[in-house]
Chain A
Amino acid sequence: MEYIVKTENLVFEYQVLPTEEGGETQREAALAGVDITVKQGEFVAVLGHNGSGKSTLAKQINCLLLPTSGTVWVKGIATADGDRAWDIRSSVGMVFQNPDNQIIATIVEEDVAFGPENLGVAPAEIRKRVNGALAAVGMTQYAGNPPHYLSGGQKQRVAIAGILAMRPDIIVLDEPTAMLDPIGRREVMDVVKILNREEGITIIFITHFMDEAVQADRVIVMEEGKIAMEGTPHAVFSRIDELKAIGLDVPQCAEIGLRLRQAGIDMPTDILTIDELVEAICQYK
């Protein structure tokens, strides 16, 4: 299998009800012809402002939404094939923005066990998976705690453990760090990178934080339901003017690099991180 996720001319329209009586129901395209391919084991970040279609795309990947036209394949299965929705959903785990909306049990380990229990996994195997999942996100010591006393970053890691216990091939995270403090954000990001590198899980990571997108293998920028840019973080973030034109940020170090270039200092155009910026300044001197 070449691609673990593939979309072809993916269109998703939703209905806009008329605001006045007797008005016509409009159709609006949240996705207007999207072609993406994601390789097994890849870490892809998806950027775009609110309403650009990022979350709609995420929901297409585990059959929460189905295409109006076009096709989405996950592990070679078309999502429109209704009989296979469960197969797809057990391969694709989703993590949403607010951890409080995803945690349902009163004890951390029970929450993590919820998914595999529902899949009908044998108790001994569930125990094994729960322990493994909590260890993978660094939350073993909280297994017996009530989740509502955890910090935001810890709760989000528990939510990720709940997904891991279902043994997915792909995890789609929709702004998982939006509500977290700086340390919580770093904790979640570190866990995601470990799962990607060590467990080989394919990651699709939606975010508004450019410093997070920088850490992905590939960045996809969405705008008005279409792919506006795509490439390595270095390739995408060197297109600073285009990013700004669609209302996105660039990493601060890229911004500093740009401003130095504008002032006539000869700097590389693809600076993203502090290391690269400091290195470039040392070289210049």
Chain B
Amino acid sequence: MSIQIVNVDYTYSRGTAFEKKALNNVSLTIEKGEFVGLIGHTGSGKSTLIQHLNVLMRPDSGSIIIDGEDIGADKSRLKAIRSKVGLVFQYPEHQLFEMTVYKDVAFGPANAGLDADEVNKRVLDALAIVGIPEELHQKSPFELSGGQKRRVAIAGILAMGPEILVLDEPTAGLDPRGRDEILNQIKIMHEKLKLTVILVSHSMEDIARLADRIFVINHGEIVMSGTPAEIFVQTDALESLGLSSTQSTYVARRLRAAGFDVPEDIYTVDAAVSAILKVLM
């Protein structure tokens, strides 16, 4: 399943004094099964862009084509498109509301009109994928830890059977362990369920760990795109956009400045360690 965003423009409060152009001629293509990172500072247009992907917002001009279908063209197709594109908002645990974990995850598929067996199967599969053990299924979601709540919320999206998963800052506010749990589950979903994943994050370390390709958005425009190695090496450009590179990249840069022959496109701890060992041994 490929996603094509073609010349998309969007302006908030059009025609008022508060008019603000949020997306300016955005075009990009994401292939089926890719793991894409989307980065940009607060207010750069990331959230606006991803809300277009399941027609929560419609472009002023331009189009979004998923699997060859213009998703804004036919209103009767909205339901199908929204099940295909799962959108996990920031702080998704705020959307939990049911009495039990099981019921909360079942809410979406039950509403989609699936029969009871299919709903049951989807709930159990989704909770298994996010690593919520069975003894928690009948608990209130509000008794769980922050990381667990968030995983239950993600299970609710997975139970809709999406082919594309879009996550907006899934690790914000979690402690390191909660963050690692979520990132590992996302990786499993990508690999096992063959989902196309779009990850929005302020954490360059998270993006560096997972993404195959990165898009950088600034003032509503895609200003950089490439592999993590290609993006993170451009430290100065990232900083001028209100972002940063990874710590490992900064270490490599300083070592080069000090005369060490380490590659400049290092962006993980593993790569930094092996490069340093190579020059020291």
Contact = CB atoms under 8 A, between A and B. Distances in A.
B80 interface: no
B147 A50 contact: yes
A263 B255 contact: no
B175 A208 contact: yes
Nearest to B268: A252
Interface string A215-250: 000000000000000000000000000000001110
B72 interface: no
Contacts of B143: 19
A61 B150 CA distance: 29
A97 B250 contact: no
B243 A50 contact: no
Contacts of A49: 175-178
A151 B276 CA distance: 38
Contacts of A211: 247
A259 interface: yes
A247 B280 contact: no
B219 interface: no
Given A50-B174, A181-B243, A282-B258, A256 B147 contact: no
Interface residues of B, number: 38
Contacts of B175: 48-50, 208, 247-248
B242 A181 contact: yes
B254 A252 contact: no
Interface in A18-50: 19, 48-50
B174 A208 contact: yes
Contacts of A175: 173
Nearest to A259: B273
A211 B204 CA distance: 14
A89 to B, nearest CB: 26
A182 interface: yes
Contacts of B146: 50-51
Nearest to A152: B42
B251 A277 contact: yes
Given A51-B145, A278-B255, A259 B269 contact: yes
Interface string B167-197: 0000011111110000000000000000000
A285 B280 contact: yes
A94 B243 CA distance: 27
A265 B173 CA distance: 36
A263 B273 contact: yes
Nearest to B277: A263
B137 interface: no
A281 B260 contact: yes
Contacts of A182: 41, 202, 204, 242-244
A179 B169 CA distance: 9
A274 B41 contact: no
A285 B145 CA distance: 47
Among all A-B residue pairs, the 6 with the closest Cβ atoms: A247-B177, A49-B175, A252-B247, A183-B242, A249-B176, A182-B244
Given A19-B143, A251-B247, 8 more contacts: A49-B177, A50-B147, A181-B242, A183-B41, A184-B42, A208-B174, A253-B251, A278-B258
